[in-house]
Amino acid sequence: MTANHVKRAFKYRFYPTDAQAAELSRTFGCVRKVYNMALQARTEAWTRQERVNYNATSAMLTAWKKTDELAYLNEVSSVPLQQALRHLQVAFTNFFGKRAKYPRFKSRKKSRKSAEHTTSAFRFRDGKLTLAKMREPLDIVWSRALPEGASPTTVTVSQDAAGRWFVSILCDDPGIKPLPATGAAVGIDAGLNHLLTLSTGNRRRDHLHKITTRLVRENQTLVIEDLTVRNMVKNRKLARAISDAAWSEFRSMLEHKAQWYAREVIAVDRWFPSSKLCSTCGALQDKMPLNVRTWTCDCGATHDRDVNAAINLLAAGRAVTACGAGVRPQRSSPAGQSAMKQEVTRREP
């Protein structure tokens, strides 16, 4: 991927007129309705052991618009409705690929209110953004400038639970260029305690951006655990904490920035016992409850749980890079492990 083709989303707050707010609220409702009807149709087909794809649901949408009951779908821009069907297709693709649970219906009260517009559904001219079906441009608070000469490809409008309106503008960012290659590598343990110490909301997101940017700038290779949050959330005691910790958001940021700057992210199998393995002698502990933050191995080495896990992840990642397979770290001398430990501790956010 060349630097000229790197896309970034720029999010801004905006203040709609009463007419714009009413139009967007109608659009949100129609998006939810179309998504749910398409999901219902695909679910019924699934019970018959049939598969319905995006093209089929798109044809259904055309038919729905011609009925008296659903004629109101014609009153809003058709693009967000088509995009809702595309998002449903992605959800099913992830389900069939065993990367996500079966898609769920959108709730009027609980689901995120949003509508995605592609180039045919908006006009961006002279720094002003006007959506389809609207006469006036949005009153956007341009908290930061878009890249010079930016040409948006997708615009997503949303409203949060507090009633605030946001617009996310996706466009090429020519300012992103690969960083010079470096031999540095780091193991990153997504320690629950560490992520839970971060602030919530926009402040936490800003903190995650700073951490991931620093890690990507300083290291050529970044080794992380391939944590499947959807499986871990089955543990009720961890569910809320895991959600708050935003592991998936951290990994997503890290992988996107690594792609931008020509870095490599290696995901080590989540069953790799990074926390229970002594990084000094390689001995494997039988148990390691989450409340144990420091522990001492029979060899005499005392470990910080997260730092030890990061050391093991780094060694595993290097083994993957060198051998192309296997995630068990090579045992090395205490001196070598000590040097590695210093490297990880120094780079730990």
| 306 given a catalytic annotation | yes
Starting at the edge strand found earlier in the chain, the sheet holding 7-14 runs: 113-118, 154-159, 165-172, 7-14, 140-141
Structure tokens at 146: 């878009």
Yes or no: say if 314 and 274 are a contact pair by the CB < 8 Å rule. no
Quick one: CA torsion of 71, 74, 80, 83, rounded to 10 degrees?
60
Among 23, 172, 189, 343, which one carries the catalytic annotation? 189
- Looking only at the bridges linking them, the beta strands covering 165-172 and 7-14 are antiparallel
Among 172, 173, 306, 348, which one carries the catalytic annotation? 306
| 304 given a catalytic annotation | no
Nearest residue to 166 (alpha-carbon basis) of 141, 191, 137? 141
| 206 given a catalytic annotation | no
CA distance 308 to 328: 14
Nearest residue to 33 (alpha-carbon basis) of 100, 80, 68, 66? 80
Among 173, 225, 343, 348, which one carries the catalytic annotation? 225
- Would you name the residues annotated as active-site residues? 189, 225, 306
